[in-house]
Amino acid sequence: MTDNIDFKQYWKSQSIATPDAKELIKKASQFKRNTLFKLIAANVLLLATSIGIGFVWYYFQPDFLSTKIGIILCIVAMVVYLAFYNTLVPLLLKNDIELDSKSQLQQLLALKEKQRFLQSVLLNGYFILLFTGLSLYMYEYVSRMTLPWAIFSYGLVVFWIAINAFYFGPKTLRKQQGRLNKLINQLKDLNEQLTD
């Protein structure tokens, strides 16, 4: 058995069919549009909600200070969330694909670690702000109700927030963090393979 095996010859005899370039271009433009659409949709939705809440202030002219503080807190929660989301998404979508592998992997690792931190801090902060804001906002209207109705209204809001904050939120977070942790470990391993 020879020591001089012609790997290159084997390598090149892999049979390959080249697809049509036009189909590829069509698909590529569609894909780009989809990603952009999601980003715009999230912005429009949260901004519209904020404007809606602001409109309540303007139109109903609440008397209590607590109502106004509540409105501000809710809007702040949504704006802060959007602000972070908007700074993170371009980073996630940015194609640093032209860098060499080493720099690319290091950048990706830094980004994923930042994302892991942001996700946990941001989501908790968002729920705390939203819950405080809503409770304050409701106080003026609830104080005019009879006691059973008041308890019912607050109960409903607490229930809704609690389900989100203690069930759906952590569930999503655990799933995302689990994936991120796995990914970060794999990236670290790849980076180690790339040390001179």
Partner 1 sequence: MTFEEIHTTYWPKVYRQCIGYMNDPDIAKDLAQETFIKVWQQLPKFRNESSISTWIFRIAVNTCLRQIEKDKKMPKSELPMGLVAEVSVDNEPEVQFLYQCISELPEIDRIIISLELEELKQKEIAEIVGLSESNVRVRIHRIKEKLTKKFQQHDR
Would you tell me which residues interact with partner 1 (CB under 8 A)?
Answer: 1, 3, 5, 7-8, 10-21, 23-25, 27-28, 31-32, 95-105, 108, 179, 183, 186-187, 190, 193-194, 196
Alpha helices in the chain (DSSP H): 7-12, 21-60, 65-93, 101-142, 147-162, 169-193
CB of 34 to partner 1, least distance (A): 8
3/63 with CB nearer partner 1 = 3
CB of 167 to partner 1, least distance (A): 22
7/59 with CB nearer partner 1 = 7
> What type of residue sits at position 109?
L
79/92 with CB nearer partner 1 = 92
CA torsion angle 130 136 140 141 (round to 10): 30
Q: How far apart are CA 61 and CA 54, in angstroms?
A: 11
109 exposure class (CB count in 10 Å sphere: 0-12, 13-18, 19+): middle
The token pair at 3 is 């020591």
7/58 with CB nearer partner 1 = 7
CB of 183 to partner 1, least distance (A): 6
116 exposure class (CB count in 10 Å sphere: 0-12, 13-18, 19+): middle
CB of 12 to partner 1, least distance (A): 8
14/146 with CB nearer partner 1 = 14
How many CB atoms sit inside 10 A of residue 185's CB?
10
CB of 3 to partner 1, least distance (A): 6
For 123, residues 6+ apart whose C-beta sits below 8 A from its C-beta are 169, 173
CB of 191 to partner 1, least distance (A): 10
80/183 with CB nearer partner 1 = 183
